[in-house]
Amino acid sequence: MRKVGFIFWVLSFASSLYFSLELYDKGINLDTNFLTFISETQKYDSAKRAQELYESRNLQYAIITLSSKNKKNILNFTPILAKKFCESKSVNYCNWSSEGGSNLYSFYYPYRKYLISPGQLDYFEKTDKKIIIKKRLQEIYSPLAMTESSQLSSDPLGIMSSFFRSLLPVGGFMPDEGLLISNSGGAFHSLITLKFDMNRPGIEKEVSHLVVEAKKRLALAPEIKMNAVSGLLYFSEGAKQSTTEASTLGLLSLCLVMLLIVLVWRSALPLLATFLTVIFSSSVGFLFCYLVYSRIHIACLLMGIGLMGVVSDYCIHYFSHNTEGHYGLQKSTLRAIIKPFLLSLLTSIVGYAGFYFTGVIVLQQLAVFAVFGLLAAALTVFFLYPCLPKNRKPLTGVVVSFICGFSRFRTSMMSLSPVTGKLAVICLILGVGLLPKIRFDDDVRKLQKPNSELAKQERIIQDLTGVKRQSQYYLIEAESDQQLLQTEEHLSRLNDKRPNRAELSRLSSWIPSHSRQSLSRTGYNNLQGLVVDFYIRLGVENPKWQASRVYRENSTPKLNVKDWMNRFGHLPVADQYLGKSGKYFYSIVRVESGNFMRESELPNGVKIITRTKEVSKFFKELRSNVMLMILCLVVAALVLIALFTGYKMALEVCLAPCMGLVWSALMCFWIVGYLDLFHILGLVLVFFLSIDYSFFNSFSLPGQDDSVDIGIGVSVFTTIFSFGVLIFSQTAAIHHFGMSVLIGITVSYLFTVQRGAKF
């Protein structure tokens, strides 16, 4: 039976390692965006789904600028670089020239009588005709009005020109020799806009590679500076940083654990067994996580590093009892530790599995990773360890003496007198009394520090284009697309009346609603008299004939959202139309600059959306639920242990975990200044890890005190090494998680008492 189990383990180990390496070689699809924490399986209303659709579309774009003091360099290199971008299979749409203006004109020309804005109509009605004609003549005869003159016969009053100017062109970029060029800050700048295929696997890496290759080409022209901004670039850089952290911290953790094992056992056997256990559990956890979630969040792998400390504990406890002579009092080592081992395994699985029910996708991934990793470690304990020989010599050495000596001192202090035990209880009560002083901060923006170089480039592009990335916008809801456009127009009119009005980017600037098109058509026909006067001033023969020809086309259909989307669905503004979700149609109105209107000022069907605040609110609710879960776990543990062993044993087992929970929370608050969700998640693990030490202390067999001391002592230090390295992470969420566990485990160990302590 033992041979069958061993063969089964070998086959499982080889298979998991092979498939893990295969996946790693193909490339792991990592997610580094902390705004994707909320599970995709969570139930949303239609507004939530529409909102997330817009946010996912926003990631498709990249804005690239080339800057040089020499305009010739810009004119030469921009088309070359842009065409290279366009050739990439990951790019769906690439815009770098000014040719799009003629396409817009040809599309809008049949609809020109429907494009007069309310502001233009108001201007025509309230302004003296002579003033209008004089201003229009100045526009036509100005040096910059070549296009205005060419459109004289079809657009005598420049209505279409005014319409195009109202479409919020990007900053100061204007058509110049076939490109979109801006001249500011003593340099010339060209603009390239890219739209990526988000369905391609590994799109973040491809986008980052495109930018890197483009900068290599520009090495031939060092006087040209390239800046690029895209959410995909942030994710790619975040993945690089986090992957480097995961490999570096994981290697450091593994080396520290291995070093401690070598110093304690001075044998290659426990080292090899620990290494195989960690590798097997990690590869199995990764495989199952990848099978369930094709895209793994980097935070799952970083927090999964702590699994090394948990599974290595099994090897440590086994080998601390697997010595012949003084320590080996049982023929079967597994039989000697089976009761505390199963309790430890069960509590660890329950602790990690509880993360699955939080509704946070990264924690659900961590739950899958850890649970299957723990089960793999248990298979190793049952099928591999019994095949290994016992140690021939008792454990000795400086490290062993220190661990045993410190454990005896700690136990003697806790067992010295009832006064010491009461003092520990008083410390616990005092800590609980200080908990209300703790301040919580659930701001999601503090969890992730953006790449400084990308942030610098983003600020440069924002200054050039005048378009700043907004975390807030208006979500419009209506029963039809036409009502949607009308609501946008109503919102725009209300915004225009405000003293400090915002600049709105909206679909209804490009597609007027049918009700506004009807008003425009009426106003267009009423302008015939003004057009006649205008042609008379120009000296055109038979002006009445000219005017009648201009307004002669009466069969042009109204402009529809569907027609416009079919023609210009590639434009960024098209992504603000979200279509139908549930029973309603949705669109987004972005604020390019200025202040938001207050909720009380908004018309029906309009809602202010703040993504970071919504995620922070979700984190706050989740944190409250996790805190309640911790309280329930403590109470449940006390009750269950008391039912089987009595209340004294329950107090003995739960004292150390409770001390770790309370004082870890207080010390993290004093260090950081606040607690967040990841501090609290660390406390959950503190409870389940520290209660294991109490299990091995309280349920150890008589005469095994030294084995227990060594096992628990080494386990504590390996856990500290595993979770302690996380405090070196540059990601605040991971740093806080590691800090919470490190402090909690240390405090718990100090208050873990040996069987027989007096209270």
The better pLDDT of the pair 415, 151 is held by 151
Mean pLDDT of 30-51: 57
pLDDT of residue 555: 57
pLDDT above 70 for 170: no
pLDDT of residue 665: 92
Cβ–Cβ < 8 Å for 409, 309: no
Cβ–Cβ < 8 Å for 694, 752: yes
Structure tokens of 721? 């090494």
pTM exceeds 0.85, yes or no: no
Coil, strand, or helix at residue 397? Answer: coil
Cβ–Cβ < 8 Å for 447, 33: no
The better pLDDT of the pair 576, 352 is held by 576
> What is the rounded radius of gyration, in angstroms, for the C-alpha atoms of the chain?
35
Percentage of the residues of the chain whose pLDDT score is greater than 90 = 7
Mean pLDDT of 5-16: 87
Say which DSSP state 331 is in: S
In this structure, the number of other CB atoms found within 10 A of the CB of residue 71 comes to 15
| 241-250, 322-331, 563-572, 661-670: range with lowest mean pLDDT | 322-331
pLDDT of residue 753: 62
pLDDT of residue 483: 93
pLDDT above 70 for 546: no
Residue-averaged pLDDT of the chain: 78
| Nearest CA-CA partner of 261 in 408, 406, 410, 403 | 403
Bridge partners (DSSP) listed for residue 675: 440
Cβ–Cβ < 8 Å for 78, 179: yes
Q: How far apart are CA 380 and CA 388, in angstroms?
A: 11
pLDDT of residue 40: 44
User: Could you tell me where the DSSP H helices lie in 561-605?
Assistant: 561-568
pLDDT of residue 484: 93
Residue written as token pair 């007096």 = 758
pLDDT above 80 for 605: yes
pLDDT above 90 for 487: yes
Coil, strand, or helix at residue 578? Answer: strand
Cβ–Cβ < 8 Å for 173, 181: yes
pLDDT of residue 620: 81
Three-class HEC string of 28-63:
CCEECCHHHCECCCCCCCHHHHHHHHHHHHHCCEEE
Say which DSSP state 305 is in: T
pLDDT above 90 for 513: yes
Coil, strand, or helix at residue 452? Answer: helix
The better pLDDT of the pair 451, 754 is held by 451
pLDDT above 50 for 14: yes
pLDDT above 90 for 421: no
Which domains are present in the chain?
A: 1-31+266-394 (1.20.1640.10), 59-109+123-235 (3.30.70.600), 414-437+614-759 (1.20.1640.10), 472-613 (no CATH)
pLDDT of residue 326: 42
Q: How far apart are CA 274 and CA 254, in angstroms?
A: 10
Mean pLDDT of 683-709: 72
Bridge partners (DSSP) listed for residue 97: 179
Mean pLDDT of 318-338: 63
pLDDT above 50 for 39: no
pLDDT of residue 759: 36
Confidence of residue 346 (pLDDT cuts 50, 70, 90): confident
How far lies 40's CA from each of 7, 123, 348, 392, in Å? 40, 50, 26, 55
Across 622-643, b (16+ Cβ under 10 Å) vs e yields bbeebbebbeebbeebbeebbe
Mean pLDDT of 225-237: 84
CA angle 524, 525, 527 (to 5 degrees): 70
| Nearest CA-CA partner of 308 in 733, 721, 739 | 721
pLDDT above 90 for 666: yes
pLDDT tens for 425-479 read 788 888 888 888 899 888 766 776 767 788 888 888 888 876 666 667 888 999 9
Of these ranges, 149-158, 263-272, 300-309, the one predicted with the greatest mean pLDDT is: 263-272
pLDDT above 90 for 512: yes
pLDDT of residue 667: 93
pLDDT tens for 172-188 read 677 777 787 888 878 88
Q: How far apart are CA 608 and CA 588, in angstroms?
A: 10
In this structure, the number of other CB atoms found within 10 A of the CB of residue 318 comes to 24
pLDDT of residue 416: 47
The better pLDDT of the pair 301, 491 is held by 491
pLDDT of residue 49: 67
pLDDT of residue 480: 92
| 46-60, 90-104, 405-419: range with lowest mean pLDDT | 405-419
pLDDT above 50 for 386: yes
CA angle 53, 55, 59 (to 5 degrees): 115
Confidence of residue 4 (pLDDT cuts 50, 70, 90): confident
Confidence of residue 693 (pLDDT cuts 50, 70, 90): confident
Q: How far apart are CA 37 and CA 364, in angstroms?
A: 10
Q: Report the greatest alpha carbon distance in the chain.
A: 121
Coil, strand, or helix at residue 617? Answer: helix
pLDDT above 80 for 208: yes
pLDDT of residue 482: 93
Mean pLDDT of 666-676: 91
pLDDT of residue 695: 75
Percentage of the residues of the chain whose pLDDT score is greater than 70 = 80
Cβ–Cβ < 8 Å for 507, 501: no
Cβ–Cβ < 8 Å for 676, 441: yes
Cβ–Cβ < 8 Å for 502, 495: yes
| Nearest CA-CA partner of 117 in 109, 106, 125 | 125
| Nearest CA-CA partner of 301 in 731, 744, 746 | 731
The better pLDDT of the pair 413, 248 is held by 248
Q: How far apart are CA 278 and CA 373, in angstroms?
A: 9
